[in-house]
Structure 1
Amino acid sequence: MIKALRNGGAHLDFRTREGMTALHKAVRCRNHAALLTLLDLGASPDYKDSRGLTPLYHSAMVGGDPYCCELLLHDYARLGCVDENGWQEIHQACRYGHVQHLEHLLFYGADMTESCARVLLFRGASKEIRNYNSQTAFQVAIIAGNFELAEIIKTHKESDVESRAMLAWLC
C-alpha cells in the first residue's frame, strides 16, 4: 500500500497537524514492516514533530518492537534528540524499561553520561547487576577508563535511592 501511494505521488515526509511524518506514525504503531518500506523509499529518519522529537525518540519512548529502533539507527538516524525536559532517547528507554532499545542506542553510540548513571542509581538501579561477562557496572567503567563514572558508582549508597513514600509525603 505504501509503495502504491508513493508511486501515485504521495509525499513520504508529509506531516500531520502534530508535525508527525509517516515514520513517526509507523514507530508509534510499532510497525517495523511499514518503517522498513518507508526507509527503503527514502523517508528521512530525522524529521522532528511539532515537539521537536524524532521517530527514534518516539521509538525509545513507546517501546514495542526493538527492531524499529534498530532500523532507524541502521539508517543513520541521529542520536541525541532532546525534549523540553532535557531528556534524550536513552533516558526514555531507561525510564520505561525498554532494555533492547537501550542496548541498540548504546551500540550505535548514545551518550551514556554520568548524569544518566546518577539518575538510574537514584531511581534504584542495582550497581551489583552483572553483564554477560559477569562484570558489574563499576568494573565496566574501570575497564573503559571512565574513572569519574566508576567513582559515582562506587560511592553510591542505598540510602541515596529516592523513596516513593518520601516523595508522596513531600507532595
Structure 2
Amino acid sequence: MASSIFHPLDKKSAGLAFLIGLVAILGALSSQVFGGLVPCELCLEQRLAYYYGLPLLALVLILWNRLPLNVWYVAMIIVAAIFVWGTYMGAFHAGVEWGFWPGPTACTGVGDSMDFSQLNSMRPVIGCDVVQFRLFGISLAGYNALAGLAIVALLIISIAAQLRHNRKPVAA
C-alpha cells in the first residue's frame, strides 16, 4: 500500500481551523441578523479574512490528496497570511475599542470626515470605538482576534507537520 505524501495531522488541524473560522463568521453574521448588532467599518473589514480565507481553505480541504505538494504549501501559506491579517485587524479593532490607539477617522468620530453615502442607506452608523457587546470583558473584535490566532496556529501546525512528514524517508 502506497504511503500518502500528507500526514494525518495536516488535514485534522486544517479542518479544525476551517471549523473555527466558519463558527466565527457565522457568529458574526448571526449577531448582526438575529442579535441586532450593527457592524462598524472595522467589523466589516475583519470579515474579509473569512470571506477570502475560508473558501480557499475549503478548496484545499476538498482537493487534499489531489493537490501537488508545492501547490498545497503555497495555498496553505496564502490562507495563513490572510488570517494573520485578519488577526491583526481584530486586535487593532479591540485596541481602538479599549482606547489604546485611535481608529480610522471615518468611523471613530475623530476629525471632520463623514461618509454621506451611509445617510441614504437608512441604517445606523456605529463608531469603531463603540463596543456593542462584551462577554467576560472581551468584545466581539477581541474574540475575532482570538479566533484568528487559533486559526493561524492550527494552519502553522498543519504546515509544520507536513514539513516534518516529508523530511522522513518514505517506506517503499
- State the TM-score bracket (shorter-chain normalisation): under 0.3
Q: Greater relative contact order: 1 or 2 (C-alpha under 8 angstroms, separation 6 or more)?
A: 2
TM-score (norm 2): 0.24
TM-score (norm 1): 0.24
- Structure 1 or 2: more helix by fraction: 2
